[in-house]
């Protein structure tokens, strides 16, 4: 018998190995089942109502017919205003935390606060937005109040993504700059930011998809169940895709069965397109970058 022949111990190891691998594989398959099911059912039930008119017409007959144009445009408004509010703040804060902040208790407290902010349930953000933006600042129920609420909620996404991409830029580049007499800001502007822009954009796009899908934070702060017209400015109320889905699914009688599926399909497609763009962008920029 060869010294390399399989023993009983090897046999047992192989059996355990196979079991573990199969178990993990099953868990992974389990993970994608809901995704496949959701997409499959949405496409199967929602696709029939999709048409050009569905995207470009306003809802009619008590939202049981017509399209989703007002909700679609409303979501674009809300997302855009939320980005304008949160991206500059988030990026600036991340640059400070990553490039300037000394490692002391205050910085650690701020980091902790950001992590906690990410963990606050969206309904709590909604109530905060109602109190702060709608009532206290007097914006009323408006796009501005809804977007600011979403901006507060999604700030941690931008901050964390930005900070991580800043820290991925090798420290040697900063050393080189400082040794030539460059200030921190010159270093950030000319070397650090240009090389972390892909990660920052990924964070922004993730934020967009999160913002587009949230319902609770905008329900009390600026999104209306039904409006027959488009918003004219940031102090108007608006319809929004996510709230529209909730309303036609649960609040309105006699809605054709396919309609909510159509709304959900459009909403999820928007988010998927965003995420795909984010991934494609990151891959593109990563391939361009070499050090």
Partner 1 sequence: MAEIAIETRDLNLWYGTFQALFDVNIRVKQGMITSLIGPSGCGKSTLLRTVNRVNERLGYVRTTGTVDVMGEDVFAAGVELARLRKEVGMVFQRPNPLPLSIRDNVLFSHRIHRGNEKVSRADEDVLVEDALQQVLLWDDVKDRLSQRATSLSLEEQQKLCIARLLPVKPSVLLMDEPTSALDPKATEALEALIWGLRGSYTILIVTHNMAQARRASEECAFMLLGKMMEIGPTDALFLSPKLSETADYIEGRYG
List contacts with partner 1 (CB under 8 A): 172-173, 175-183, 186, 190-191, 194-195, 289-291
Is the Cβ of residue 45 or residue 174 nearer to partner 1 in the bound state?
Answer: 174
In our burial notation (b when 16+ CB lie closer than 10 A, e otherwise), range 245-270 reads: bbbbeeebeebeebbbbbbbbbbbeb
Is the Cβ of residue 167 or residue 277 nearer to partner 1 in the bound state?
Answer: 167
For residue 110, the minimal CB distance to partner 1 (Å) is 20
For residue 283, the minimal CB distance to partner 1 (Å) is 18
3-state class (DSSP) for residue 42: helix
Per the CB < 8 A criterion, the answer to whether 208 and 79 are in contact is yes
For residue 95, the minimal CB distance to partner 1 (Å) is 18
In our burial notation (b when 16+ CB lie closer than 10 A, e otherwise), range 181-201 reads: ebeeeebbeebbbebbebbbb
Per the CB < 8 A criterion, the answer to whether 241 and 270 are in contact is yes
Other Cβ atoms within 10 Å of 105 Cβ, number: 7
Is the Cβ of residue 15 or residue 189 nearer to partner 1 in the bound state?
Answer: 189
Is the Cβ of residue 131 or residue 170 nearer to partner 1 in the bound state?
Answer: 170
Is the Cβ of residue 10 or residue 175 nearer to partner 1 in the bound state?
Answer: 175
Is the Cβ of residue 135 or residue 168 nearer to partner 1 in the bound state?
Answer: 168
Q: Does residue 115 come out as left (phi exceeding 0), alpha (psi in the -120 to 50 range) or beta?
A: alpha
Closest Cα to residue 223, out of 79, 120, 111? Answer: 79
Q: Write out the H or E segment, with its range, that includes residue 288.
A: helix 258-288
């Amino acid at each position: 018998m060869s010294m390399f022949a399989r023993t009983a111990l090897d046999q047992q190891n192989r059996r355990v190995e196979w079991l573990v691998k199969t178990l993990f594989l099953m868990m992974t398959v389990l993970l994608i089942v809901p995704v496949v099911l959701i997409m499959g059912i949405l496409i199967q039930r929602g696709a029939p109502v999709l048409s050009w008119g569905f995207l470009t017409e306003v809802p009619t007959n008590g939202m049981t017919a017509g399209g989703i144009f007002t909700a679609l445009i409303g979501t674009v408004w809300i997302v855009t205003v939320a980005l304008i509010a949160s991206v500059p703040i988030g990026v600036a804060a991340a640059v400070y935390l990553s490039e300037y902040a000394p490692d002391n208790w205050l910085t650690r407290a701020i980091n902790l606060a950001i992590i906690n902010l990410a963990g606050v349930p969206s309904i709590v953000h909604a109530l905060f937005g109602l109190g702060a933006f709608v009532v206290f600042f007097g914006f009323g129920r408006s796009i501005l109040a809804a977007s600011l609420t979403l901006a507060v909620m999604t700030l941690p996404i931008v901050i964390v993504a930005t900070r991580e991409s800043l820290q991925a830029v090798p420290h040697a580049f900063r050393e080189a700059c400082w040794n030539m007499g460059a200030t921190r800001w010159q270093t950030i502007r000319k070397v650090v930011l240009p090389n972390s822009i892909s990660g920052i954009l990924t964070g922004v796009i993730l934020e967009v998809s999160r913002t587009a899908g949230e319902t609770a934070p905008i329900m009390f702060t600026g999104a209306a169940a039904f409006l027959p017209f488009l918003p004219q400015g940031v102090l108007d109320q608006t319809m929004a895709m996510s709230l529209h889905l909730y309303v036609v699914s649960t609040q309105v009688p006699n809605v054709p069965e396919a309609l909510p599926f159509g709304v959900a399909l459009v909403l999820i497609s928007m988010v998927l397109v965003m995420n795909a763009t984010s991934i494609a962008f990151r891959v593109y920029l990563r391939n361009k970058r070499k050090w």
